Amino acid sequence: MTSRTSNAPDVAGTFSIGAEFPVRRLGFGAMRLPTGPGSERDGAIAVARRAVELGVTLMDTAHLYGWGANEELLAEALHPYPSDLLIATKVGVTRSGPEGWAYDGRPESLREQVEQSLRRLRTERVGLLQLHRLDPKVSVADQVGALRELQLEGKIGHIGLSEVTTAQLAEARQTAEIASVQNRYSLLDRDYEPVLEVCEADGIAFLPWRPIGAETDSGQAAVLATVATELGATVPQVLLAWLLARSPVVLPIPGTGSLAHLEENLAAADLRLTDSQRQRLDRTALRVG
């Protein structure tokens, strides 16, 4: 059972990406869905469909996830897509051999990767297209400029970035409007706090990846367990509830291949942390590093 106290505002709510596409703030990351044949694939399709049934309107995938197989899986599970579902995908990383990968932000390569994503997702327009990583060998203006051209052609709705610093975000915004940033971030992993602060100030969606995966020491684990017990919740739910309370621009995208874990994660939207609980969690986070 989760706690449904009334002493805090509705921190889950929705957020409008690019001031155009409203999504529920607790989304779904598809990376962990199995893409092979057989019963595992059937289970993955069931998880994706159940996420939508439970109200998820933001799903995150990428070219890197199975080299397109993850995008194909979502298309198989969900196409034709509900009108309120935003599927975000990422480009900018390509294969460099049987087991390797490399940054590839050349404009011609980004265009081809986007075209491939459109085919795999069975759509004419990607609602949110994010650069998986900035290629250090290609200027930021050229990389973002290539996506801006595709946006003007109607193949991209909004442009986002992943794993960027405040300086890189500022540089990218000189070329195009940036609707989202997807950086590693959680209660116990807050290196990108300055980037979140910029996003919050300017209304840019902040999608924390690995939102519940940070390791804890014994003291941190004890505080998390205590707060979870007080709320009748699990530790992952507490971590997600903290993210939702942290800022209205934060859109966590926890991923799982399990129906039970999916439902557990999404139930975190109903949790309300008290001021005391938030303060204890924040003090715990300050001990990191």
Dist CA 72 CA 239 (whole Å): 30
* Nearest of 240, 181, 226, 172 to residue 205 by alpha carbon: 181
b/e for 169-191, b at 16 or more Cβ within 10 A? bebbbebbebbbbbbbbbbbbbe
Retrieve residue 196's tokens. Answer: 């979140």
Q: Is 65 a catalytic residue?
A: yes
Q: Kindly state the tokens that stand for 285.
A: 């986070």
Query: Pick the catalytic residue: 65, 103, 185, 192?
Result: 65
- Let me know: does 27 contact 56? Beta carbons within 8 Å: yes
Contact 86, 111 (CB under 8 A): no
Closest to 211 in 3D by CA, of 34, 25, 35 = 25
Please tell me whether residue 247 adopts helix, strand or coil conformation.
Answer: coil
Write down the residue that tokens 């902040």 correspond to: 206
Residue 284 is encoded by which pair of tokens?
Answer: 């715990």
The closest of 177, 176, 125, 132 to 155, measured between CA atoms, is 125
Q: Where do we find the tokens 């706090």? A: 193
In angstroms, the Cα distances linking 143 to 51, 146, 149, 172 are 33, 5, 10, 9
Q: How does DSSP classify residue 10?
A: -
Contact (CB, 8 A) for 61 and 92: no
- Catalytic positions: 65
